[in-house]
Amino acid sequence: MLRRWIERMTPTDVIMWLIGGAILLMIFWGSAATLSAKTYTAHHWFDFIVFGLAQGSIYALIAMGYTMVYGILRMINFAHSEVFMSGPYTAYFVAAAFYSSGFLDQHPIISLILIFLTSMATSTLVAVLLERIAYRPLRTAPRLIPLITAIGASFFLQYTFRGFYGSGFQAYPVVKILEGEWAWGEFRILKFQAVVIVAAAILMASLYSFVQRTRVGKAIRAVSEDKETSSLMGIDIDRMIVTTFVIGGMAAGAAGVLYALMFKQVHFFMGFIPGIKAFTAAVLGGIGNIPGAMLGGIFLGLVESVGPSLFLDGLGIVAPYQLKDAIAFTMLVLVLIFRPTGILGERLAVKKA
């Protein structure tokens, strides 16, 4: 066993492991130094973790769309970040109308539900149209072609929405019932963060159980396993693919509103960064694997929030939060060095790739 392992090892592997080991060493060293300096107390760490969880659950919701489409079509839907943008940007106009008419303050729950529905409906519509117009005609084309098309569709959507709504940004109104915080002693959690985390958890759980427990979900999994065989079994492949895009679109639309509730700003380019991060999360968790995408998203959110303080403070690096993205991508490299298929990516991904 050990001999075979040594025989199979290449110089590249050795170098990669050395790099990985060095990064790990830096991380442990930095963390130890930060923790022993005791600048941060328990409630600071708790805050960092909550911030990271809230951000991470949004990444996770978007990552689901990437990973499911990859699972079924073996392509990376780069336009998914625009699916994410289209929902909250359109729903903004509903939210602004509710706010200026006073409806938002009188019936916040109903308004929020309507805002969510608008956003999810728009994102779903965009996702379905995207599949129908841009991807379906290219289903049998070589794999690189849909990928390039996806990038093109991404630009097309971005600038279409810029044409619709202008190049400036819009500010989401403040929802009063989500302001404030719940506190236990010195630990506390902001209300809307709790809402974002809980809502994202419910959505992810329900979408996952839809894929795992229902007949349609089973059919989707069958199609992603083997298209020809499942079509011989009487499964309508096109319908299953559209369903996948619908689920991804719904998740992205909901994530969009959660994002807008957290950050209050929407503009036509807002999907780009979260999209890249969610894609990273999907790869991190093992692309094609739904729980992997969720785990990857939350992991990435946590690393971005906790990482700069924990790893870099101790190393004496000034202004560590500028390096937030670098940390996130270093984590991706680190995971891929030791587990090339991602955290939960099984050999399944290798077989199909």
CB of 290 to other proteins, least distance (A): 25
Does residue 315 bind other proteins (CB under 8 A)? Answer: no
Given a contact cutoff of 8 angstroms between Cβ atoms, the answer to whether 347 and 288 are in contact is no
Distance CA 248, CA 231 (A): 22
Does residue 82 bind other proteins (CB under 8 A)? Answer: no
Query: Total binding residues for other proteins by CB under 8 A?
Result: 39
Does residue 314 bind other proteins (CB under 8 A)? Answer: no
Cβ-count burial of 4 within 10 angstroms (0-12 exposed, 13-18 middle, 19+ buried)?
A: exposed
Residues of span 28-67 touching other proteins by CB under 8 A: 39-40, 43-44, 47-48, 51-52, 55
Q: Which is nearer to other proteins, 301 or 342 (CB)?
A: 301
Residue among 133, 174, 333, 350 that touches other proteins (CB under 8 A): 174
Q: Which is nearer to other proteins, 259 or 279 (CB)?
A: 259
Whose tokens are 């969009």? That residue is 256
Dihedral over Cα of 132, 138, 144, 145: its sign: negative
Residue among 292, 308, 314, 342 that touches other proteins (CB under 8 A): 308
SS3 percent helix, strand, coil of the chain, rounded to 5, is: 80, 5, 20
Dihedral over Cα of 73, 280, 64, 165: its sign: negative
Residue among 31, 230, 305, 341 that touches other proteins (CB under 8 A): 305
* Listed residue (57, 63, 31, 65) closest to 45, CA to CA: 31
Sites of contact with other proteins (CB under 8 A): 39-40, 43-44, 47-48, 51-52, 55, 167-171, 174, 181, 188, 190, 259, 262-265, 267, 269, 273, 304-306, 308-309, 313, 318-322, 324-325
